[in-house]
Amino acid sequence: MNDGTMLPTAVFRRAFVAALAAFALSDVFADDLYVSTRVLADPTADQPAPAAELSAGGVFCNSPEAMLGVRLELEGTGGYDMAANGAYTSGGAELDASFGGDTARFVMLAGISGGIQPDVPAWTTPGLRARFIVDGPNSSIMIQPGVFVQYGGDEPRFGVDGLARLSVAAGDFILKPECEVSWTEYDSGTREFVLMPKVAASWYPGFPMTVSMDSGWKRTFDEDGAATDTLLGGFWAITSIGSVSLASVDVSFEIGADTWAADAEAELAFVVLADGDVVLSLPVGFAYSRLIDGTSMVSLSAGVKLEF
Amino acid sequence: MTRAALVIAILSLMVSGGRADDAIGEWFATDPALQYAGVRAAVAEAAAPAVAAGVPSVLFVERLREAAAKRIKPDLLPAAIAAEAARLLSVNAAARESGFILDGPVRLAALRRASLLLRAGTGIASIKGAYRAAQLANRGAEAALEAVAVAADIRARTGIGVEGADLLASSLIRSSIDWPKYRSLEAIFVKGRASGLSGSTLVEIACGALDSGGTFVRIEQEIERRTGK
């Protein structure tokens, strides 16, 4: 459909039609829908040029979670990057069905995501996950095996993964030790096995602010058995400003033996209208990203978001 | 009961009642009250129905001290005290109708807190509903009023409406969570809103988790399941 030269008007037309359809159907069988548009630019680029984006998404068929719950989540983003002189789109759909009662649940998740970007082959990633959850009054255990395939993109691959997590309440904190394993085979024939133990914690104090943090260690084995170690970490803080506006800071990093990568984002979402579930906000953001190859990007953005 | 004991009880009641009634008068004898001397009788008259119904007059003294500190104009004071009396009468009646037998400092704290909630815009129906839920769940007035206060703050931040706030307060009261920890729910709602969930969805998640025996762990897990964050 696209080789990176899709006209921006076509991208926006499709996103606009999707947003209109979502709005029309929102009262019937959907909730938590959103439409947002923003302009972003990298002021540190040699020739700074803005990109414009339109995103829409939401949850459909969200049946009450009693014995059987079904929900479908869709989201998509279309944009035009003037610096790269090309359009980009990405989107995803996730369908999950959950069965169970108050203490144990089984959730099947089927998802697919995909995208088209300038200079990158179109990609799509279907996946399937099963999630088993056993809840106690102040703790919970989750085991989640999954399988995924990536067609196209930079590195087509097939993989299986698994996650085991314990969540325990401790005062104002919820502590979440977890371990993730994955095995991936790339189209080029290379294989890798990843073992990633991690500890995450969420802090919910007695005021409208929350902090989530995690730290872990990733050991990657290549097909010859050689291991590479990486230290992982992350921090996400959100607070309410005034009554309804939100400020957030989101930082994550990976530190390897020779290099490092990091992402940092800060956003202020000024709410200008709030009427029940209808919220109109003006988000402004700053983002910094450093890739493992040493290249870095800065992005400033401003936009409008409507949630309904 | 012996005759002597009966006499002592009656005398005790008279003495304590006399002290309560005098508290407003005693305040008017203090320096900060000098500017309000002209409205003393009107203030006493405004507070009288509540004091007669057993509302401790020290609660009015607190409001008088607050008014003096804020340099409220004297002619506004009787109406402010009358409004406070109406609030205290209604929350006093709400506790009694719900079967709460409150006494001493607990009663004083409950009346003070409930009146503050009314001043902040909470309806008396929400307080009555919370008292009823607390009675059924064998919880105290502190738990009921803290749940109403937390739900009211969440309502102000997320637009969940009175009905949503009342559902949330009732679920908190019925839950196994200790009432001093109720405030954490406000922080969880902040995370849920930042993750893109609407107020009504968060109420549905929180009430579903709490009513099925869960605590904040299950609410967080459900938010993360729905948002992938």
Average pLDDT, chain A: 84
Tell me: do B138 and B83 sit in the same domain: no
Q: Chain B contacts of A34, Cβ < 8 Å?
A: 196
**Dihedral through CA A145, CA A149, CA A150, CA A151, nearest 10?**
-170
**A-chain residues within 8 Å CB-CB of B219?**
none
Position B103 in a domain: no
Q: How many CA atoms lie within 13 A of A113 on its CB side?
A: 13
pLDDT at B2 over 50: no
Q: What is the pLDDT of residue A23?
A: 56
Check residue A49 and give its pLDDT. 77
Residues on chain A touching B217 (C-beta within 8 angstroms):
135, 138-140, 167-169, 174
Chain A, residues 149-168, CB within 8 A of chain B, namely: 167-168
| Nearest CB to A248; choose among B194, B221, B225 | B194
* Domain co-membership, B71 together with B21: yes
* Interface touch A208/B186, C-beta < 8 Å: yes
A5-19, A163-177, B56-70, B137-151: least confident range = A5-19
Mean pLDDT of chain B: 85
Q: Give the pLDDT mean for A148-174.
A: 91
**DSSP H or E stretch at residue B174:** helix B161-174
Q: What is the mean pLDDT of residues B194-214?
A: 89
Read off φ and ψ for residue B68, nearest 5 degrees: -65, -40
For residues B178 and B82, state if they share a domain: no
Q: What's the token pair of residue B197? A: 């969930």
The C-alpha atoms of residue A88 and residue A6 are separated, in whole angstroms, by 8
Contact A202 B220 (CB under 8 A): yes
B6 within a domain of the structure (yes/no) = yes
Domain residues for the domain of B81 are 1-97
Count Cβ neighbours within 10 Å for each residue of B86-105 and write b for 16 or more, e otherwise.
Answer: ebbbbbbebbeebebebeee
Residue B26 pLDDT > 50, yes or no?
yes
Partnered with residue A79 across adjacent β-strands are: A53, A88
Name the residue among B190, B193, B216 with its Cβ closest to that of A174: B216
Q: Do B159 and A172 touch (CB under 8 A)?
A: no
Taking 50 as the threshold, does the pLDDT of residue B19 lie above it?
no
Which chain B residue lies closest to A73 (C-alpha atoms)? B226
pLDDT band at A307 (very low <50, low <70, confident <90, very high): confident
Q: Is the pLDDT of residue A98 over 60?
A: yes
Q: What is the mean pLDDT of residues B200-210?
A: 90
> What is the reported pLDDT for A9?
55
A174 touches chain B (CB under 8 A): yes
Q: Is residue B143 part of a domain?
A: yes
> Which chain A residues touch B188 with a CB distance below 8 Å?
204, 210
Contact A121, A40 (CB under 8 A): no
User: Could you tell me which residues are beta bridge partners of residue A281?
Assistant: A271, A305
Lowest-pLDDT range of A62-71, A127-136, A216-225, B207-216: A62-71
Statement to judge: residues B63 and B152 lie in one domain: no
| pTM of the full structure | 0.80
Q: Are A272 and A296 in contact (CB under 8 A)?
A: no
What pLDDT, on a 0 to 100 scale, did the predictor assign at position A21? 62
Residue B150 shares a structural domain with residue B84: no
Domain count, chain B: 2
For residue A302, pLDDT beyond 80: yes
What is the per-residue burial (b if ≥16 Cβ within 10 Å, else e) of B26-63?
ebbeeeebeebeebbebbbebbbebbeeebbbebbbbb
- pLDDT at position B223 is 87
B89 vs B15, more confident: B89
Does residue B108 belong to any structural domain of this protein? no
In order, the DSSP letters of A268-305 are EEEEEEEETTEEEEEEEEEEEEE-TTS-EEEEEEEEEE
If you average pLDDT over residues A213-222, what whole number do you get? 92
Q: Check whether A213 has a pLDDT greater than 80.
A: yes
**Domain endpoint, select from B82, B97, B112:** B97
B105 lies in some domain: no
Question: Looking at the predicted structure, is the pLDDT value of residue A152 above 90?
Answer: no
What is the least distance, in Å, from the CA of B186 to any CA of chain A?
6
Q: Is the pLDDT of residue A156 over 60?
A: yes
Q: Where are the beta strands (DSSP E) in chain A?
A: 30-41, 51-60, 68-81, 86-100, 104-117, 120-135, 139-152, 157-170, 173-186, 191-203, 209-222, 227-241, 245-255, 260-275, 278-290, 296-307
**Selected residue of B157, B177, B178, B229 to mutate for chain A interface (largest A Cβ count, 10 A):** B157
pLDDT at position B13 is 38
Q: Measuring CA to CA, which residue among A137, A212, A141 is closest to residue A172? A: A212
DSSP A242: T
Is B107 inside a domain boundary?
A: no
With an 8 Å Cβ cutoff, are A204 and B196 in contact? Answer: no
Range with top average pLDDT, A276-285, B88-97, B150-159, B169-178? B169-178
Backbone angles phi, psi at B142, to 5 degrees: -60, -45
Query: Do B142 and B189 fall within a single domain?
Result: yes
> Does residue B134 belong to any structural domain of this protein?
yes
Statement to judge: residues B136 and B221 lie in one domain: yes
Mean pLDDT within A127-141: 88
**The residue count for chain A:** 308
List, for residues B127-158, the tens digit of each pLDDT value. 999 999 999 999 988 999 999 999 999 998 88
DSSP letters for A131-177: EEEEE-SSEEEEEEEEEEEEEESSS-EEEEEEEEEEEEEETTEEEEE
Instruction: Over range A42-62, report the average pLDDT.
Output: 79
In angstroms, the CA A254 to CA B214 distance is 35
Contact B157 A206 (CB under 8 A): no
The answer to whether residue B66 is domain-embedded is yes
Q: Are residues B92 and B131 in the same domain?
A: no
What pLDDT score does A5 carry?
44
